[in-house]
């Protein structure tokens, strides 16, 4: 059974840094592209970043470019999101999600339970 478990959330001051992790199990992690999606009561679901299966291609939404870095460790079956220069508007529940294996444009077929990140002084 596919399982995605986020960790590393918490309270951080504006301008601070935080790294989220997503431990994957139940499938061949290195064969699937992955993504981070965040959710706030006000803006709903927002795609944040994606990474290819091998890790050689990464993509970001404009509001986090230059501040967030997505990466993965295919030996440890773990996805990461390094978040720097955090702002109040980054406050959200962050989900890791797996892309379907569809060979092109794909939906997210599995999601984690989410990790809460709160940016506040």
Partner 1 sequence: EIVLTQSPGTLSLSPGERATLSCRASQSVSSGHLAWYQQKSGQGPRLLIYDASRRATGIPDRFSGSGSGTDFTLSISRLEPEDFALYYCQQYDTLPRAFGQGTKVEIK
53 touches partner 1 (CB under 8 A): no
Does the protein bind partner 1 through residue 118 (CB under 8 A)?
no
Beta strands in the chain (DSSP E): 3-7, 10-12, 18-25, 34-40, 44-51, 58-60, 68-73, 78-83, 92-99, 108-111, 115-119
Q: How far is the CB of 75 from partner 1 (least distance, A)?
A: 25
To partner 1, the closest distance from the beta carbon of 47 in angstroms equals: 4
Q: Checking DSSP bridges between strand 115-119 and strand 10-12, what pairing results, if any?
A: parallel
Contact with partner 1 (CB under 8 A): which of 50, 72, 90, 92? 50
Is 27 a residue that touches partner 1 (CB under 8 A)? no
81 with 70: CB under 8 angstroms? yes
Report the residue number, 14 or 100, with the smaller CB distance to partner 1.
100
Query: Does 116 contact partner 1 by CB under 8 A?
Result: no
């Amino acid at each position: 059974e596919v399982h995605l478990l986020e960790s590393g959330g918490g309270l951080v001051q504006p301008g601070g840094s935080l790294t989220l992790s997503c431990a994957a199990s139940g499938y061949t992690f290195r064969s699937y592209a992955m993504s981070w999606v965040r959710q706030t009561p006000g803006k709903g679901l927002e795609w944040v970043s994606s990474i290819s299966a091998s890790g050689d291609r990464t993509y970001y939404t404009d509001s986090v470019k230059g501040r967030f870095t997505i990466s993965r460790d295919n030996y440890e079956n773990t996805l990461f999101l390094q978040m720097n220069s955090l702002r109040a508007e980054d406050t959200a529940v962050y989900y890791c999600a797996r892309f379907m294996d569809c060979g092109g444009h794909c939906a997210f077929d599995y999601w984690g339970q989410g990790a809460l990140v709160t940016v506040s002084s």
